[in-house]
Amino acid sequence: MRGARLALLAVTLAGTALLGAPADLAGAAPASMPAAPAVVLINQPATSVCSGHRFTVGVWYQRISGGSRAYRVAVSGPRHRRFFYRSGKAPSAHWRFWKVLAGRSGKYRTVYSGHRRGSTRWTTFTAITRAHRCHGG
């Protein structure tokens, strides 16, 4: 998974904190993980892809964090229409990944939502992926 990054969806008093580390497909959390009320780890999609290619979104629940496993993942395309949506409880045994097609050039907005511990309010993190025409070669 070239360019994929993990991110930690965690809530602080000021807002959402994002912790990035190289992707680990085995499902182990990075060792530098802070002792925050973190709940759901997210796979931060690539920032740039070629039109007609796919980018990866995904979730994993870190058991030692406690708190809610609930998540929502929504992707909107260049025409500002949501075309991909998943929700549920993040698995704790393995990552759950989805490959999303960037069918045309433009900006794709991925919005991850989760709960902070002890709260029922949704907190969001937004990632932008830009799809562009690539020259064959």
- CA–CA distance, 5 with 44 (Å, rounded to integer): 5
- Express each pLDDT in 72-82 by its tens digit: 999 999 999 99
Measure the CA dihedral 116/67/5/86, to 10°. -80
Report yes or no: 9 and 42 within 8 Å, Cβ to Cβ: yes
Give the chain's radius of gyration (CA, Å): 15
For residue 105, give the DSSP letter.
S
pLDDT tens column, 92-114: 999 999 999 999 999 999 999 99
Enter the pTM of the model.
0.73
pLDDT at 8: 44
Asked if 8 and 42 touch (Cβ cutoff 8 Å), the reply is yes
Residue 119 has pLDDT above 70, yes or no: yes
| All structural domains of the chain | 5-24+37-132 (2.60.40.1930)
